[in-house]
Amino acid sequence: MKRPWLVPLIPVYAAGLALRSAGLLLGVQPIRRLRWQVISVGNLSVGGTGKTPFTIALARLLMREGVHVDVLSRGYGRQSTEVERVDEDGGPERYGDEPLLIARETHAPVYVGPKRWQAGKMAEEQAAAQSRSLYGVHLLDDGFQHRQLARTVDIVIVNSEDLGDALLPAGNLRERVGALKRARVLAVPAEDEAAVEELRRLGFESRAERPIWRFRRDMVVPMMPATLAKRRVVAFCGIARPDQFFSGLTQKGLDLAATRTFPDHHSFSRGEMEMLRRLAESTGSGALFTTAKDIFRLGGLGTELDEALPIFAVDLQVTFEDEAGVMTWLRDAMGLKTG
């Protein structure tokens, strides 16, 4: 719980959740269905659990097994409200940073739109134009709370920090822990044994019908030129849990002279980039480090700055501890035909 002074407002937020759930159950808010099956990847909190790299890893696994995959996303932070397919050469202002990252990392079709069932319809129509017999799977990015779209499988990423947090606005939880009962799969970071123990205490044992998948996260740090290898660096980011990013860089052996945080999905200005340049200069730093998502939002500003001060993008990659087990479960649960 990070904002205890807002605890009195939790019942107001909880009442809103209850009304929304009632609307879905009573049919006031219609639940749409697509022709293809849907796998939702989501979490309980407002961010910072690694949904995007998890979605990328799952898309790659399914594609490697011969499944046609596309990704449906709201495209948080985009300026457009059009339903459209993401162009890998486009920018985050049109598509959002996360959909753009997924498209570039997987080369799978990614569709964005405020109503994701419309994005799914477009995906199916475009796939049918290529081949009437083509049948695939939609991955619904950040979809656990987007209950207006029916799904076959709900995968929810869980960590010990979320399990000990409070509802918005005092904490970071969008839903209470009890909402995990809707999930068919719980995914937990391999190193977070405390989360597994807490899930067991709450009655969420790993069973065939509702497994707990373990996955590993690895921060991939670009290699710096020899001339910069021993110099200090400045790190900055606009993500939900920046401390994880900074501590990860330190664990990778980087000497952080200074750090700066910005709001999640922040659009950077020329003035902010100039501030970072001066900060690097005053601390004797030889480079800037940021996340793969943030580098998209820099756009041309990053290129301008890179001429005087190199900027390195750090990627977060997810791997499943038991890929074969994940794929077997999905085949059985969804009747997937692979290969």
Whether residue 129 sits in one domain with residue 238: no
Q: Tell me the C-alpha distance between 310 and 292, whole Å.
A: 15
Which residues span the domain enclosing 145?
Answer: 4-217+319-334
Number of domains in the chain: 2
Residue-wise pLDDT tens digits, 250-290: 999 999 999 999 998 898 999 999 999 999 999 999 999 99
The CATH number of whichever domain residue 181 belongs to comes to 3.40.50.300
Q: Are 92 and 100 a contacting pair, CB within 8 Å?
A: yes
In a domain, 314, yes or no: no
Amino acid identity at 152: T
pLDDT for the residue 306:
61
Q: In what order do the strands lie in the sheet with 136-141?
A: 84-85, 110-112, 68-73, 136-141, 37-43, 153-157, 185-189, 212-220, 311-320, 287-291, 233-237, 256-261
Sign of CA dihedral 312, 241, 218, 65: negative
Distant-in-sequence, close-in-space partners of 70: CB < 8 Å, separation ≥ 6: 108, 109, 110, 111, 123, 127, 136, 137, 138, 139
pLDDT for the residue 289:
96
Reported pTM: 0.93
Whether residue 143 sits in one domain with residue 235: no
Amino acid identity at 139: L
Whether residue 328 sits in one domain with residue 283: no
Residue found by looking up tokens 């002279």 in the block: 257
In a domain, 339, yes or no: no
Residue-wise pLDDT tens digits, 178-213: 999 999 999 999 999 999 999 999 999 999 999 999
pLDDT for the residue 303:
67
Q: Is 75 left (phi over 0), alpha (psi -120 to 50) or beta?
A: left
Mean pLDDT, rounded, of the chain:
92
CB atoms within 10 A of CB 337: 10
- Which parts of the chain have pLDDT scores under 70? 1, 132-133, 302-307, 339
Residue found by looking up tokens 């998890």 in the block: 54
Whether residue 213 sits in one domain with residue 232: no
Q: What string of DSSP letters covers 26-48?
A: TTSSPPB--SSEEEEEEESBSS-
Q: If DSSP codes are grouped into helix, strand and coil, which group holds residue 330?
A: helix
Whether residue 248 sits in one domain with residue 186: no
Whether residue 25 sits in one domain with residue 155: yes
pLDDT for the residue 43:
96
